[in-house]
Amino acid sequence: MVRQLSFDLPVRTAHGREEFFVSAANANAVAMIEGWHNWPGRKLALVGAEASGKTHLVHVWATLSSARIIEAPDLAGADIPDLAEAPVAVENCDRLNAQPEAEEALFHLHNLALAEGQSLLFTGQDAPNYWPISLPDLASRLQATPVAALEPPDDALLTALMAKLFYDRQVVPHADVLPYLVRRIDRSCAAARKMVEALDSAALAQGRAVTRALAKEVLDKTD
């Protein structure tokens, strides 16, 4: 049930394809995910800033391909031969700095999965040539991976993202809230996420609906 006033309910993040809004900022990345059978070398690096939609698209791809999803740092303790028996998405590959066991595991997963005819999806905030990988053979393989980038959001995407984030929190903002916020927050997905969290928290604490007046109060406190 959606709500006008804020109650302390769990956040349920929707990761289906129908919840992913396509705009000029992400259309190419979405097309690459949906056309995954045609990836050169059967692999792709999906890159973009924090909260840009990488994890959402990873889940979309996992549904399409029956892929498994694992965080890159968790590879050190994983059963690599078992993982390599199906398509695999490895998230946050740019967080492997100074983790040699995880790098070795990713190197073996890369080689074994491709040898088994499986597909691989990697994610990070920047392109693979910027990832802090110390294992030369792994770095060269990742740098040879085609890249799909999630660009900074345009107005349409920023509006849709905040609408989804409110929906995940079972909150219905007043109709003038989203247009008001789009003109005033930093143009990033992370800023949109922080603003929705702040508004939901303020509405909960004060027992108020998410209105333009409340949005102005929250914005004034963050300036």
SS (H, E, C) the chain: CCECECCCCCCCCCCCHHHCCCCCCCHHHHHHHHCHHHCHHHEEEEEECCCCCHHHHHHHHHHHHCCEEEEHHHHHHCCHHHHCCCCEEEECHHHCCCCHHHHHHHHHHHHHHHHCCCCEEEEECCCHHHCCCCCHHHHHHHHCCCEEEECCCCHHHHHHHHHHHHHHCCECCCCCHHHHHHCCCCCCHHHHHHHHHHHHHHHHHHCCECCHHHHHHHHHHHC
pLDDT of residue 10: 41
Residue 157: pLDDT over 60: yes
Model-wide pTM > 0.85? no
What is the tens place of the pLDDT at every residue in 18-70? 677 888 889 999 999 999 999 999 999 999 998 888 999 999 999 999 999 99
Residues 81-108: pLDDT tens digits?
A: 999 999 999 999 999 988 999 999 999 9
Please give the residue that has the higher pLDDT: either 115 or 24. Answer: 115
Which pLDDT belongs to residue 17? 56
